[in-house]
Chain A
Amino acid sequence: MEFCVIDDDKIYQFLVKKTIKSVDKNFIVNLFEDGLEAITTFKNKGICCTIILLDLNMPNMDGWQFIQEYEKLQQIGDQKHKIYIATSSISKADREKANQFKIVQGYLTKPITKEKIKDLATAV
């Protein structure tokens, strides 16, 4: 199983990678600094992951912008990928906005625990 973590917080990147690996050592984790880096990679190399953990607040291209760009890509590709919002925001507005995108599978609030990763992995 392959995870894509899109987040500009270096500490979070480190922590989430560790957490995923602690669930299953064979899980692959790809890290992206922001939406722009992720979408560029996806465009060039294709979407390589099963689960995407997407932060909302990022420079250059934030989570929402990423989703819009991603939707365009999705129409071309035929692989199934699940996008989860993973944010520190507990704001109701953000949660509601996330629900409006059909492509978004769920809304996770940080910290991302082992249990949450396990749930995601079993849902696939």
Chain B
Amino acid sequence: MAFGVQLVPNGVIKYVYPFEENKAALNLDVLNSATTSKEALKAIERHKIYFAGPLQLKQGGVGIVGRLPVFIENEFWGFSGVIIKLERLIRNSGISNFEENYRFQLSKVNPVSGKEEFFLEGAEDINLAETEKITIEDGDWNIYISSLNEHEAFNATLPVLILGFLLACVCATITVLVFKRPGELQQLVEVQTGKLLTSELKFKAIFDQAGLGIVHLTADHGKFIEVNKRFCDKLMLTASELKERNFFEFIEGDAALDKNLLEHQKVEVKLIRNDGMPIYVRLTNSPFSSKKGLSYITIVEDITEKKKTRQHLKELKTRMEMAIRVSKLAYWEWNVETDEITWSARMYEIFGVSKDQELGSSLVLSHVYPKDLKKYKRYTKRLLEGDTLKPYEVRIHNTNGGIIYILAHVESEINEKGKVIKLKGSLLDVSKEKRAEKELNHSYKLVLEQNKRLLNFSYIISHNLRSHSSNIQALLNLLGSTSVDEEQKEMLNMLTSVSKSLDETLYDLNDVVNIQKNTTISTEPLLVKKYVDRVLSVLSSQIRSKKVKITLAIPEEAKINFNPAYFESILLNFISNAIRYRHPERIPEITIRFEIEEELKKLSIQDNGIGIDLSKYGEKLFGMYKTFTDHPDSRGMGLFMSKSQLEVLGGKVSVESEVGKGSTFTLYFK
């Protein structure tokens, strides 16, 4: 008789049977649908079955729905419902047997509209005043019976009829609720069991084959209810061996004493394997309650490797940080894309920048020594292109104003696409070494210079002083052995001449020693033009008598830093040389020119004199007592002295010459 059954958890139709005929009703929310909610709520209110309808069924036709509210622990769970098609109910009720003599009518007040609705044919014929009315509580139904023969007394039969009808109704209900349902439920159980079986197999497979250890533990003692293979392998024990022990036995440390260990959803502990080796695991505990009481499903994840790696990384990091700190290493990283810069503490010290200063490439650039900026940019560009560079030197000035020599080791970090994403490296403050090196170089030069002068000194002693003294000795010898007055007189004249030469040589010696002594000769800015003019005026009588043409190309304001006495002596020497070694067949022309070339100041003295054969004398030109002409005034000291004076003050001299055409001496000043 039932058209279908349904399960309505939370008032929403979720399960129907038979499925095909009733699927249209699925997902109907009976508690919230206008046509059904009132009667559904009535069922809940009454805690009893209530027959709703007749109503238009979603699945077609008119029917009544009996809803049995289900309560679990006094909480409304939903309905268990039965659908009966009205047409079938009436047919089965046996009412038709009475139709010859009586007329029946079934009515109900529509819960929505509030109007009484009649469900049997011929409602318009019935005379309600002459009918008997019976109300059925379980659905607020009204049953009307009236006799077709008006005057026939039907009072006597009436109770029987009503009873019959009611019985029919109740029978139908019972049949549906009691007999029909178990069958269907049985079927459902079978379906569900099948499903469960599949799920359990699946679960079993997951449990056994899982890459993680999974154990099922009792809550109180941590006894193993079930363990998977992975866990057994981890502890190097079999499942049966494990089942005789409890989980806490394997835990080392304080965690073993923690009674509530399993209550932590996630916790890391150290387990001791069967062979005594420790492993680190992370437990994920899920409580699981069943009839047998509370237990825990615990996932055991081996984090030994992770922990080792983490520990290793941590150690590496600490070691690196310590190394950077102890070695006072200036380490830096520059993220090329974001311009983010990371510095070790030492970097801040070197740059003289406070730690709260915001770092960026512009800050670094602003510290690079201007003269090294080009070089720095060139190197950086190459690094950004992925080149590897040898350590290079660059100067920076720190905020305290000092210049610092830096030795930079830099590497570029390249991502998988081959793009340079980071530059990183270390700096070494090599200022001390650099200064020491400079000083050493300076000392070396000084020693070399002094050595040279010492050689010159010994040269003067051995050649010049000795030549005079030997002459005096020889003269005295001869003087003693000769008796001729005239010869004696001649020799005495010679002695005078030798003593004069001796005096000159002593002066030279004095000059040489003086240059050697005064390694710190004071310098001052000198107007070049002023000094040249002064020397020319000293030489003016010679210039006039020899008709020398002098051309000057010296800016009025041109200055050099030099010692005034030296400068005068040098000018005098070179200009007088230019006059002295003039060409006998030409009017002497001397051009004195001042120029600045790459920060070096140049003063050149050009003549059109006899010239010097440099291939022959080049090396010796500036040597002491080197004379290359028979000129009576050349003693071989001038060029030597001038060169020494220039060199002592960081300058130098060079010469260009061609025999018969002239010479140009160029003096370079620092």
Contact = CB atoms under 8 A, between A and B. Distances in A.
Interface of A: 9, 11-12, 14-16, 18-19, 22, 33, 56-57, 59-60, 87-91, 94, 109-113
Contact of A89 (B462, B471, B634): B462
Given A11-B494, A15-B471, A15-B475, A91 B628 contact: no
Given A9-B471, A57-B463, A89-B462, 15 more contacts: A11-B471, A15-B474, A15-B478, A18-B478, A56-B463, A59-B627, A59-B628, A59-B629, A60-B628, A88-B466, A89-B466, A90-B462, A109-B470, A110-B474, A113-B477
B551 interface: no
Nearest to B617: A60
B173 interface: no
A111 B628 contact: no
Contact of B470 (A22, A33, A57, A88): A88
Mostly, the B contact residues are helix
A91 B462 CA distance: 6
Contacts of B481: 22
Nearest to B631: A59
A91 B459 contact: yes
A12 B463 contact: no
Interface in B448-502: 458-459, 462-464, 466-467, 469-471, 473-475, 477-478, 481, 494, 497-498
Contact of B630 (A9, A59, A88, A112): A59
A35 B471 CA distance: 21
A58 to B, nearest CB: 9
Interface in B597-643: 625, 627-630, 634, 636
B4 to A, nearest CB: 133
21 contacts: A9-B471, A11-B494, A12-B470, A12-B471, A15-B471, A19-B478, A59-B628, A59-B630, A88-B462, A88-B463, A88-B467, A89-B466, A90-B462, A91-B458, A91-B459, A91-B462, A91-B463, A94-B462, A110-B466, A111-B477, A112-B474
A110 B627 contact: no
Nearest to B620: A62
Contacts of A90: 462, 466
Mostly, the A contact residues are loop
Contacts of A11: 471, 475, 494, 497-498
Contacts of B469: 88
Given A22-B481, A60-B630, A89 B463 contact: yes
Contacts of B625: 57
A110 B458 contact: no
Interface centre among A18, A33, A94, A111 (most CB of B within 10 A): A111
B484 to A, nearest CB: 11
Interface string B376-403: 0000000000000000000000000000
B471 A110 contact: yes
Interface centre among A11, A15, A94, A113 (most CB of B within 10 A): A11
A59 B471 CA distance: 19
A113 B475 CA distance: 11
A90 B459 CA distance: 9
Contacts of B474: 12, 15-16, 19, 110-113
Nearest to A22: B481
Interface residues of B, number: 26
A59 B474 CA distance: 23
Nearest to A15: B474
Contact of B473 (A18, A22, A87, A111): A111
A113 B470 CA distance: 10
Given A15-B475, A113-B477, A9 B467 contact: yes
A110 B478 contact: no
B497 A110 contact: no
B486 to A, nearest CB: 13
Nearest to A34: B630
A16 B459 CA distance: 23
Contacts of A94: 462
Contacts of B475: 11, 15
Nearest to B471: A11
Nearest to B630: A59
A111 B458 CA distance: 19
The 10 closest A-B pairs by CB, nearest first: A110-B470, A88-B467, A111-B474, A88-B466, A59-B627, A111-B470, A15-B474, A89-B462, A91-B462, A111-B473
Contacts of B477: 111, 113
Contacts of A89: 462-463, 466
Nearest to A90: B462
A89 to B, nearest CB: 5
A81 B477 CA distance: 29
A90 B462 CA distance: 5
Interface centre among B459, B628, B629, B636 (most CB of A within 10 A): B459
Contacts of B463: 56-57, 87-89, 91
B130 to A, nearest CB: 166
A110 B630 contact: no
A63 to B, nearest CB: 11
Contacts of B471: 9, 11-12, 15, 110-111
Contacts of B467: 9, 12, 88, 110
A25 to B, nearest CB: 15
B461 to A, nearest CB: 8
Nearest to A92: B462
A74 B459 CA distance: 31
Nearest to B459: A91
Contacts of B497: 11
B580 to A, nearest CB: 14
Contacts of A60: 628-630
B647 to A, nearest CB: 23
Nearest to B476: A111
Interface in B543-573: none
B271 to A, nearest CB: 89
A40 to B, nearest CB: 14
A89 B468 CA distance: 11
A44 to B, nearest CB: 19
Contacts of A88: 462-464, 466-467, 469-470
Nearest to B636: A59
Contacts of A15: 471, 474-475, 478
A108 B475 CA distance: 18
Contacts of B478: 15, 18-19
A106 to B, nearest CB: 17
Nearest to B467: A88
A57 B635 CA distance: 12
A15 B474 CA distance: 7
A29 to B, nearest CB: 15
A95 to B, nearest CB: 10
A89 B455 CA distance: 13
Contacts of A59: 627-630, 634, 636
A38 to B, nearest CB: 15
A85 to B, nearest CB: 13
B456 to A, nearest CB: 12
A79 B470 CA distance: 32
Nearest to B478: A18
